[in-house]
Amino acid sequence: MNPKIVKMDVFPVAGYDSMLMSLSGAHSPYFTRNIVILEDDLGHQGIGEIHGGEYTCQQLKSYIPHVVGQEITNYRNVVKNLRNLNQKANEDTGEGIQSLDLNQLKFVVQSETAVECALLDLVGKFVNLPLASLLGDGIQREEVEFLGYLFYISDAEKTDLPYLKNDDLTDDWGKIRRNPTLTPEAIVAQAQAAKKRYGFKNLKLKGGVLTGKEEMEAVKALSEAFPDSRINIDPNGAWSLAEATQLVNDYRQYLTYVEDPCGPEGGFSSREITTWFKNATFCPVATNMIATNWKQFYHAASLKSVDIILADPHFWGLNGSIRMAQILNDWGLTWGSHSNNHFDITLATYAHVAAAAPGKITPVDTHYIWQDGQELCDNSPKIRDGKIKISDKPGLGIEINMARLMEAHELYNSIAPIYRDRHDEIGMRYLIPDWQFDSSKPALVR
């Protein structure tokens, strides 16, 4: 008999963050996620993690009667049925996040992915195979390379918000990840500290904060400090077509590729604008903004807008992300995965999905280095020499630590409701009074 689900729990949780900067503003002192725990009638637990917020939490809770009682090996039908339950919300404009409107992010996230992951974790334990073995054509690589994700950081001392301080003084990374970082020299120091702890060989800078020229000077400094590394930048579409073209042509020798350089402009979508950018620069383009579902991907592929699809499993589902990887490999394009702030369940999930992605993939994003030390699981994966080695343990290869989970759940319940969703303008208004998000204006350029 196949095991059946006897229990499903949903835990909204919170963790701590630095005052990281992006086009959308400043990260709050807290980030939130939703954790799903499934239990089968053999006593095994399966776990999954997805973006935070009450909208996603309520979706997950609505799934419970449709999951409990199901056989774990019927997971494909279970996930399909959950996906069909989701009706388009009135606030969903259909624009996705091509202009980085965080109010639309929750509609891009596929909440049923947390259940899919937990089910696959259980199936792996049932058949005694790692989760990656259950995806696509199975394990394609034993180690997965991750990149060092660098951020500009504002001075949290200019706020009265409860940002972490002095939580990890064990090495340079623990110290530097809470400090103001707004110059090329400081970005290089951040990269050196991250490389020393994690061994990253490739680096990505989150842009959309300062002027494009200032940010490209930081890219140049990184390239000169790490001549053997692949360097890329993600301004989240903050640059106009003219600016992006000029910047990339001027600094092309320092860049491996650029991620989402341009936003919508002059009545044209980001997909159309990015096609013109590529024609003008011949620079490879990655995206997690203009191809976040299959219909968007159809147009992006038709226009040849992008070379690298960062197919975040939370946007595409685990099997959907692998389906994308297979298509990209067949077409001679490149697969990768985008990241948001997350706990170690997502880190393990990313590693397994990337391990099953065919072809030559790009190093995977992760924010986890900014949350390192806030693990929810035992046996959490470790980034060493810039890579995660895929465990031969069944499922995800990690086990939830209920004491830590409940601490994170209690933190979520204790924080003000405004922090339960992404509101990156809160911290910004301590720096610039009445600051408002503008997709065409970098956060500190006002």
DSSP-derived 3-state class of residue 43: coil
Catalytic residue among 206, 314, 342, 387: 206
pLDDT the model gives residue 259: 98
- Which segments of the chain belong to CATH 3.30.390.10? 5-132+402-414
Give just the sign of the alpha carbon dihedral 287, 293, 294, 299. negative
Catalytic residue among 338, 342, 367, 387: 338
Cα–Cα distance for residue pair 387/146, rounded to 1 Å: 6
Residue 7's H or E segment, with its range, is strand 5-16
**Residues with Cβ < 8 Å from 265, sequence gap 6 or more?**
240, 241, 273
Query: Residues 378, 117: contact at Cβ < 8 Å?
Result: no
Cα–Cα distance for residue pair 443/446, rounded to 1 Å: 7
Give the pairing type, strands 45-51 and 30-40. antiparallel
Which CATH superfamily does the domain covering 5-132+402-414 fall into?
Enolase-like, N-terminal domain (3.30.390.10)
pLDDT less than 50: residues of the chain = none
Cα–Cα distance for residue pair 185/195, rounded to 1 Å: 15
**Cα–Cα–Cα angle for 174, 177, 181, nearest 5°?**
145
Residue for token pair 């038709």: 302
pLDDT the model gives residue 95: 84
Report the chain's terminal Cα–Cα distance, integer Å: 63
206 a catalytic residue: yes
| Closest of 10, 11, 47, 9 to residue 123, by C-alpha | 47
Query: Residues 114, 34: contact at Cβ < 8 Å?
Result: yes
pLDDT the model gives residue 158: 97
Please name every residue paired with 377 in a beta bridge, in sequence order, or none if there are none. Answer: 400
pLDDT the model gives residue 1: 80
Give the pairing type, strands 285-287 and 334-336. unpaired
Cα–Cα distance for residue pair 441/446, rounded to 1 Å: 7
* Strand order through the sheet with 30-40: 5-16, 30-40, 45-51
Fold of 134-396: TIM Barrel (3.20.20)
- Which segments of the chain belong to CATH 3.20.20.120? 134-396
Residue for token pair 């030559």: 360
pLDDT the model gives residue 270: 95
